Homo-oligomer: A and B are copies of this chain.
Amino acid sequence: MTVTLKDIAERVGKSITTVSRALYDYDDVSPKTKELVHKAALEMGYTPNTFAQRLQKQRTDTLGFIIPTFGPRFSDPFFSEFLAGLGNKAAEFGYDLLVSTRSPGEEEMRAYREIVRGKRVDGFILLRTRQQDSRIAYLVETGFPFVAFGRTTDKMTFPFVDEDSALGMRLVVEHLTGFGHRRIACLAPPQELTFALHRLNGFHEGMANAGLPVDESLIVTGDLTQRGGYERAKILLNQLNRPTAIAACNDLMAFGAIRAAQETGLVVGKDIAITGFDDILMAEHSNPPLTTVNQPIYKIGAMVCEMLIRLIRNEPMAETQITLKPELMVRQSSNYQLS
């Protein structure tokens, strides 16, 4: 049976109040009593009932994280790296993580509303922000604490961390055009995602900077999965006038594209250049190793988490809107001069 404050109180012959205050080292209980209580608590193996505490304290010490997925599986290593950063930082501060997955739409919104209204968490972490993001609209409106990884395109103001995706794609295109590529395809993310816009803009800017035209037929939208990348790349590669390079907007699609190219009999990093975006752990170990834009996903998870906790605790924050400068990781999948 579980040990409660009452049990301890009976054992040491003091009131529940005193026991509670002794455990938290209030200075209106005598040193003797404190010691007595602490010893009893230890011996009896007391651990406070979290739910009673939360009910009374009116906070949950829990952070909410709803992963937006299509289909049931979130197999994207991007999510798990982010989750790891989040989880470890949360644990460090003594917060729990309430994790679930929901595909974008009404069902997702209902989850948010229920969690907010039932006071299930102290704040939310948001991911994969949309250009018009109803989650954000709702949370801003209700004044509920949250921090996002990513921005929106409307004029909503809220705390976020984001990477300068446009710059990232410009770097990619610069790198490719520098090696002589002119026909560069782009595997774009679903349009509603904010970073789709930024990365596509970056792509266009890069091409413009190099004085190159953009062939719109080489811009195709994928679903950010490996399979999606594979399928889109197949189509691109079966064209008569195929591109000499494919810039995928995330690593997973790039992996799919690599496989598609290899199946077509092309040597990636020699016959065709393929690049990614994210620099997930796998990118360095793929074959060939993938040229990509680094996002410190794990670290961003931790950052976002710490920002949220500060926000919840009303602690001062240096910056509430952080944009990181990306770094291009040149690896073998693209590191050759186009002949």
- Residues in chain A within 8 A of chain B (CB atoms): 2-3, 45-52, 54-55, 60, 72-75, 77, 79-81, 83-84, 87-88, 91, 96-101, 113-114, 117-120, 226, 230, 255-256, 258-259, 262, 281-282, 285-288, 298
For A100, list chain B residues within 8 Å (CB).
Answer: 87, 91, 96-97
Closest to A258 in B: B287
For A2, list chain B residues within 8 Å (CB).
Answer: 117-119
For A118, list chain B residues within 8 Å (CB).
Answer: 2, 47-50
Taking the nearest CB of chain B, how far is it from the CB of A5, in angstroms?
13
Taking the nearest CB of chain B, how far is it from the CB of A265, in angstroms?
14
Whether A55 contacts B60 by the Cβ 8 Å rule is no
Taking the nearest CB of chain B, how far is it from the CB of A280, in angstroms?
9
Complex CA distance for A259 and B332, rounded to whole angstroms: 13
Q: Which of B47, B73, B120, B285 contacts A259 (CB 8 A)?
A: B285
Q: Which among A48, A75, A79, A258 has the greatest number of chain B C-beta atoms within 10 A?
A: A75
Whether A84 contacts B91 by the Cβ 8 Å rule is no
Complex CA distance for A114 and B46, rounded to whole angstroms: 9
Complex CA distance for A79 and B48, rounded to whole angstroms: 30
For A72, list chain B residues within 8 Å (CB).
Answer: 84, 88
Complex CA distance for A73 and B88, rounded to whole angstroms: 8
For A114, list chain B residues within 8 Å (CB).
Answer: 47
For A46, list chain B residues within 8 Å (CB).
Answer: 117
Whether B75 contacts A255 by the Cβ 8 Å rule is no
For A287, list chain B residues within 8 Å (CB).
Answer: 258-259, 262, 286-288
Taking the nearest CB of chain B, how far is it from the CB of A309, in angstroms?
16
Q: Which of B52, B99, B226 contacts A285 (CB 8 A)?
A: B226
For A83, list chain B residues within 8 Å (CB).
Answer: 80
- Sort A-B residue pairs by CB-CB distance and give the 3 closest, nearest first: A287-B287, A80-B80, A47-B117
For A48, list chain B residues within 8 Å (CB).
Answer: 118
Q: Which of B45, B75, B120, B285 contacts A80 (CB 8 A)?
A: B75
For A49, list chain B residues within 8 Å (CB).
Answer: 55, 118-119
Whether A88 contacts B101 by the Cβ 8 Å rule is yes
> 25 A-B contacts, Cβ less than 8 Å apart?
A2-B117, A3-B117, A47-B118, A50-B118, A51-B55, A72-B88, A73-B88, A73-B298, A74-B80, A74-B84, A75-B81, A77-B80, A87-B99, A87-B101, A88-B101, A91-B100, A96-B98, A97-B98, A99-B99, A258-B287, A259-B285, A259-B287, A286-B286, A286-B287, A287-B288
